[in-house]
Amino acid sequence: MSENSQAASPPEHFTSAKTTAAIPIRHPAIRDALIQFSLDAAVRSIEYIESATVGSEVVDVDAIVVQGEGGRSLLDIIPARPLRDLEEEGLALMALGELNIPTRALTSEDLRREPRFSNSRLVWLYNRHHVPLDLRLGILKLLSEQPSMKLGDLLQGIKETGSRGSRAVMSLACADLISLDLESQPLGPNTMVTLRTPYQRS
C-alpha cells in the first residue's frame, strides 16, 4: 500500500453506550478520552458535532461534547488538536464559539493520570463481551437490593469469584448498566460497584 493511500484511509470510529453517534478517532488520545468518559458515572452522554456554521460558511470542527451532571462541556483534547493554518484555525475557533459551550481542556497528563488510565483501559477490554443472561440478572438483582458494594462482595454474592464474574462486571460497566470507581485505587476486590439508574443513563 502506498503512502498516499495510507494517508487517505478513513479514521476508525468509536461508539459506546453513551455516544449519540460514531465518533472518528483521529488520534490515540481521543480514544483514551472517550473510553474514560464512557466509564465515568458523572457523564450521561457523549455527542459528536462534525461542523458548525460561520456566516454562510460551513466549518469542520470535529467537536466532542460531554453531557454531565453540571451541563455540557466541549472537550479540547490538547495532544489531538488538528494541524490548521492561521485562516483555518481562526474559522474553527469562530465556529466553536458559535456553539456557546464551555470548553474543558485535557492534557496528556490528565488522560494518563493513574489509576484511572490503566483501570479504564483494562475495563474497556471487555466492551461488548458476552454476559450470559443468568449471570447478568444475578449481578443486577444483587445490586438492586444493595445498590453499591465492593467488587469482591459482589462476586461472592453471585458465587462467581473467578475471572468469569469479573469479566461480566466489566462488560456491564461498559454497557452503562453499572459503574465502577476507577479513580481511587487499582481495580480489585475493594473497588466500589454501583448500579446505574435509568435517570442517570438518560
Question: What single letter denotes the amino acid at residue 108?
Answer: S
Q: What is the CATH number of the domain that holds 147?
A: 1.10.10.10
Contact indicator for 30, 62 with CB cutoff of 8 Å = no
Q: Please report the pLDDT score of residue 87 as a whole number.
A: 80
Q: CA-to-CA distance for 155 and 89, rounded, in angstroms?
A: 51
- Regarding whether 128 and 40 lie in a shared domain, the answer is no
- Regarding whether 96 and 13 lie in a shared domain, the answer is yes
| pLDDT < 70 stretches in the chain | 1-8, 199-202
pTM of the model: 0.91
Give the length of the chain: 202
- Regarding whether 126 and 85 lie in a shared domain, the answer is no
Number of domains in the chain: 2
Provide CB contacts within 8 A for 157, sequence distance 6+.
142, 149
- The pLDDT tens digits for 11-46 are 899 999 999 999 999 999 999 999 999 999 999 999
- Regarding whether 106 and 8 lie in a shared domain, the answer is yes
Q: What is the CATH number of the domain that holds 39?
A: 3.40.1350.10
- Regarding whether 70 and 11 lie in a shared domain, the answer is yes
- Regarding whether 132 and 66 lie in a shared domain, the answer is no
Q: CA-to-CA distance for 150 and 192, rounded, in angstroms?
A: 4
Residue 26 domain boundaries: 3-111
